[in-house]
Amino acid sequence: MTNVSNVLKPRFKPSHPGLVFKRQVLEGYELSITEAARRLGVSRKHLTNFSNGHVPCSLDLAQRIAAATGSGVAVWINLQANYDTWLAEHTDTPDVVAFG
């Protein structure tokens, strides 16, 4: 697993998008989870789980956060993609037969 991309781009475990949301957005706007959930149109339970890194950032949630904050939806999708990538690189790879 030591290839060029790893050498050029050493990876530490990225923050879960929910933690970024909590620290950057909620604290930045001084919003409670309860109030943010109301404005986003999602349940408080779900936003709590997301903000604590227990559930991934779905496309729907990414769209809502982007719409409410004025940020691009790509930010949240890519945060999740980076997080997923790190996980995928650090879990066992499924059994396959190599191509070529």
Partner DNA sequence: TGAAGGTGTAACCTATTAGGTTGCTATTGC
Partner DNA sequence: GCAATAGCAACCTAATAGGTTACACCTTCA
56 lies in the binding site for DNA (CB under 7 A): yes
Using the minimum distance from each CB to a second copy, give the nearer residue, 10 or 97. 97
Using the minimum distance from each CB to DNA, give the nearer residue, 6 or 54. 54
Measure CA 78 to chain center: 7
CB of 26 to DNA, least distance (A): 7
Distance CA 66, CA 62 (A): 6
Q: Which residues contact 8 (CB under 8 A, 6 or more apart)?
A: none
**Please, are residues 18 and 53 in contact by the beta-carbon 8 Å criterion?**
yes
Distance CA 20, CA 48 (A): 13
Using the minimum distance from each CB to DNA, give the nearer residue, 60 or 89. 60
Q: Give the binding site for a second copy (CB under 8 A).
A: 3, 5, 25, 29, 31, 36, 38-41, 59-60, 62-64, 66-70, 72-74, 77-78, 80-81, 84-85, 87-89, 91, 93-100
